[in-house]
Amino acid sequence: MDELLEFLEELHPDVDYETCDTLIDDGILDSFDIISIISEVADMFDVTISAEYIVPENFNSAQALYDLITYLEDEG
Amino acid sequence: MFMLIHDFIHGRVVDVRMGVAAIYAMQVVRDYRMFQNVMDHLGFGENLKDDFDTVLFIDKDGRVTFGEFCQRVARAASYFIEKGVLHQPVAVVADHCTDTLAWYLGVLASGNYYVPVNPDIKEEKLEKIKSLAGIEIVCRGGIDMPRRLSGDELEAAFRSFQEIYRNVPAGLPMYVIFTSGSTGEPKGIIKTHQGMMSFIDAYVREFQFNRETCLGSQTPFYFDASAKDVYTALKVRCPMHMLDSKLFLTPLKLGEYIRDNHINTLQWVPSALSIISTLKVFEKADLTTIRKVLFVGEVFPPKQLRAWMEALPDTEFVNLYGSSEMSGICAFYRVGKVPAEGNVPIGYPLSNSRLYLVDDGKVIRETETVGEIYVASDALAAGYLNDAEKTAAVFTGPPSPELPEGTYYRSGDLAKYGPNEELVFVSRRDYQIKHMGHRIELGEIEAITLDVAGVEKCCCVYQNSKIILFYTGDIDKADLSRQLRERLLSYMVPNKLVPMETLPLNANGKIDRTRLLDKVMDKAIGRKGIK
């Protein structure tokens, strides 16, 4: 999780990822950010986020994204 | 922040004795006459009435037929007519919705011209544009159906409209688009009615757009590239879906939306198309409704284009070439196969345009010789707003004694002819550098780098006698460096490779060279954005 937070903070240093749960709804992340996140997650966790998981609920908060990664790791 | 004027129909008193239905019918007829005039003027007006029930624009608030749209246009026009606003620039905050287009047409119908503005524009920049263009009115917002003008008001508006349109000066702009100039000052480009008519006519004929066409509009309305969608829809009377930018965050939903609404034509920038291919939407969603993909504005990374063409083998893919200095585009290339190396060609002129390659006053006709592209066309812009010097530098007389009189647009793009007389882009004139005594096109290095497996995007800059290559993708520096050494002449091999998470984009969605140069200058290549 720390690793993920660190990456997200580099992407948008001004956002408080601990509390923000409207990253998509408030337009903080755009489609290019999503592409960066997906490629970074692939490197960091060796997890592929395929298109059906790219929905706002999974990207609205750092926690939701982390939960998704954990879920996909378990699915393995 | 904005002077919102969508409340202009508040408080109107309708003559109730006439009955609501009768007034409605009368208004439809009058609204229609006003809209008809502007459509006639643009050459789109034939048998318009027959299509009143045809669905034209679809945004997140729903569908709007031709009939409903023309009422909105009339209502918007009435505002300016009532206020006596004539031959003036009117800024329109260009949200991605139907009413933005009703404002555009309403501004035209009242004998004025529009200036599209990005909804996210900073106050300071808006003020600058307002003062540069002499804008007093900024419009934004809904033109609601229930709030209607009375019959008398519309009749009066229509009479004055006729008067006005008869007297529109020949040189009155259609719209002025502001782009970021290289100096950082916004630069206004004046587009003409004649240019739009000439372009749309040739464009619709070339690509056989018709009523069966169904457009999925991605390009924001504050970019002039969106005119290809808007005026094609108006001309051929086909539906145009305004895709919510949020859809691009949920690629599967975007795919479903395209499929469910039978969208068959995409005129997007490669960056937007690449979202679908990068995220492998083809594997999950059926996108075979798409028959035509026309892309413009930047180089389509060959790997992404290949992914599209493999997923949709029966679809037509067209590379479009144009610039803001004209209406629409002036050349195109139907892609049969993605070239094994190098760029997809610029191709051949659209029927309303002539393109010439010129080097040192000589017109180039042979293959493989590099020259600068000059464009002659009815669709050329009228020049830069309040900048005669720059206008004269870019819209010139014949660049060669071999060419006929007329205005030529100097594109700044270097190109050559390929084996089938197709134009092939080489680089921007400004990206040509002298390095260790050799003349080098940075674009050539970029094209070769893009062919290396694992590279997604790249951008080359030249600073302090060093070629610096920024790139994204799945390849480490050592590996890329080795491969580039195999493919490039030694003096062209970049001196420094910088892997990036993403490349910064400018307001036009293109890779922002200035910001990359700043990075080099500041030596501010910290952790952000770097692997």
For every residue of B136-192, DSSP letters joined together read: -EEE-S---SSS---HHHHHHHHHHHHHHHHT--TT-EEEEEEEE-TTSSEEEEEEE
- Give chain B positions within 8 Å (CB) of A52: 252, 284
Full 3-state SS string of B2-28: CCCCCCCCCCCCCCHHHCHHHHHHHHH
Strand, coil or helix: what is B254?
helix
Of B352, B369, B366, nearest to B415 by C-alpha is B369
The architecture CATH gives domain A2-75: Orthogonal Bundle (1.10)
The average pLDDT across B353-367 equals: 95
Confidence of residue A62 (pLDDT cuts 50, 70, 90): very high
Instruction: Evaluate whether residue B2 is within a structural domain.
Output: no
Instruction: Evaluate whether residue B310 is within a structural domain.
Output: yes
- Give chain B positions within 8 Å (CB) of A36: 501-502
**Residues B42 and B90 occupy one common structural domain:** yes
Of B280, B289, B212, B305, nearest to B256 by C-alpha is B289
Query: What amino acid is encoded at B16 in this protein?
Result: V
On the CB side of B114, CA atoms within 13 Å amount to 28
Q: How many structural domains is chain B composed of?
A: 3
Residues on chain A bordering chain B, Cβ-to-Cβ distance under 8 angstroms = 10-11, 13, 24, 29-32, 34-36, 38-40, 43, 50-52, 54-56, 59
Is the predicted pLDDT of residue B91 greater than 90, yes or no?
Answer: yes
pLDDT of B276-335, one tens digit each?
998 888 988 899 999 999 999 777 888 899 999 999 999 999 999 999 999 999 999 999
Answer whether B279 sits within 8 Å of A40, measured CB to CB: no
Tell me the CATH number at B165: 3.40.50.980
B455 phi and psi angles, rounded to 5 deg: -85, 130
Q: Which of B250, B252, B502 sits opposite A36 (nearest CB)?
A: B502
**Residues B22 and B128 occupy one common structural domain:** yes
Pick from A46-50, B408-412, B440-444: least confident: B440-444
Is the predicted pLDDT of residue B524 greater than 80, yes or no?
Answer: no
Residue B528's pLDDT is 37
Instruction: Evaluate whether residue B394 is within a structural domain.
Output: no
Answer whether A39 sits within 8 Å of B501, measured CB to CB: yes
- Give chain A positions within 8 Å (CB) of B529: 10
Confidence of residue B70 (pLDDT cuts 50, 70, 90): confident
Is the predicted pLDDT of residue B353 greater than 60, yes or no?
Answer: yes
**Residues B87 and B114 occupy one common structural domain:** yes
**B526 to chain A: nearest residue by CA?**
A10
Of B206, B446, B509, nearest to B329 by C-alpha is B206
Residue B14's pLDDT is 27
**Closest CA of chain B from A36, distance in Å:** 6
Residue B169's pLDDT is 67
Residue B30's pLDDT is 56
Point out the domain boundary residue: B152, B169, B186.
B169
Point out the domain boundary residue: B169, B192, B222.
B169
Pick from B34-43, B170-179, B324-333: least confident: B34-43
Q: Which of B252, B501, B505 sits opposite A36 (nearest CB)?
A: B501
Answer whether B252 sits within 8 Å of A54, measured CB to CB: yes
Is the predicted pLDDT of residue B60 greater than 60, yes or no?
Answer: yes
Confidence of residue B385 (pLDDT cuts 50, 70, 90): very high
**A9 vs B98: which has the higher pLDDT:** B98
The average pLDDT across B416-437 equals: 84
B:239-298 residues touching chain A, CB 8 A cutoff: 246, 248-253, 255, 271-272, 275, 278-281, 283-285
Residue B9's pLDDT is 29
Residue B20's pLDDT is 38
**A30 vs B202: which has the higher pLDDT:** B202
The average pLDDT across B455-481 equals: 89
The average pLDDT across B446-475 equals: 89
Q: Is B528 on the interface with A (CB under 8 A)?
A: yes
What radius of gyration, in Å, describes the C-alpha atoms of chain B?
25
Instruction: Evaluate whether residue B22 is within a structural domain.
Output: yes
pLDDT of B440-456, one tens digit each?
778 888 888 988 999 99
The average pLDDT across B99-115 equals: 91
Tell me the CATH number at B512: 3.30.300.30
Instruction: Evaluate whether residue B431 is within a structural domain.
Output: no
**B432 vs B313: which has the higher pLDDT:** B313
Is the predicted pLDDT of residue A67 greater than 90, yes or no?
Answer: yes
pLDDT of B118-159, one tens digit each?
888 878 889 999 999 999 999 987 765 434 555 565 555 555
Alpha carbons A48 and A59: distance in angstroms, whole number: 15
Alpha carbons B26 and B153: distance in angstroms, whole number: 12
- Give chain B positions within 8 Å (CB) of A32: 271, 502, 505
The proportion of chain B whose per-residue pLDDT surpasses 70, expressed as a percent, equals 82
- Strands B466-473, B496-499: pairing is parallel
Of B464, B463, B473, B466, nearest to B503 by C-alpha is B473
Residue B92's pLDDT is 95
Confidence of residue B7 (pLDDT cuts 50, 70, 90): very low
**A55 vs B208: which has the higher pLDDT:** B208
The proportion of chain A whose per-residue pLDDT surpasses 90, expressed as a percent, equals 29
Which residue carries 């190109």 as its tokens?
A: B415
Instruction: Evaluate whether residue B44 is within a structural domain.
Output: yes
- Give chain B positions within 8 Å (CB) of A12: none
- Give chain B positions within 8 Å (CB) of A43: 531
**Residues B81 and B146 occupy one common structural domain:** yes
**Residues B317 and B212 occupy one common structural domain:** yes
Instruction: Evaluate whether residue B294 is within a structural domain.
Output: yes
Query: What amino acid is encoded at B203 in this protein?
Result: Y
Helix, strand and coil content of chain A, in percent to the nearest 5, comes to 60, 0, 40
**Residues B260 and B133 occupy one common structural domain:** no
Of B168, B163, B157, B193, nearest to B31 by C-alpha is B157
The parent domain of residue B50 ranges over 16-169
Point out the domain boundary residue: B426, B457, B485.
B426
The two tokens of residue B104 are: 């555009």
* ∠ CA B12-B17-B23, rounded to 5°: 60
The average pLDDT across B222-250 equals: 93
Tell me the CATH number at B234: 3.40.50.12780
CB atoms within 10 A of CB B101: 29
DSSP state of B319: E
Alpha carbons B294 and B265: distance in angstroms, whole number: 8
Answer whether A10 sits within 8 Å of B527, measured CB to CB: yes
pTM tops 0.80, yes or no: no
Is the predicted pLDDT of residue B403 greater than 90, yes or no?
Answer: yes
Residue B58's pLDDT is 97
Residue B33's pLDDT is 64
**B271 to chain A: nearest residue by CA?**
A32
Full 3-state SS string of B339-393: CCCCCCCCEEECCCEEEEEEECCEECCCCCCCEEEEEEECCECCEECCCHHHHHH
pLDDT of B212-222, one tens digit each?
999 999 999 99
Is the predicted pLDDT of residue B184 greater than 70, yes or no?
Answer: no
Instruction: Evaluate whether residue B390 is within a structural domain.
Output: no
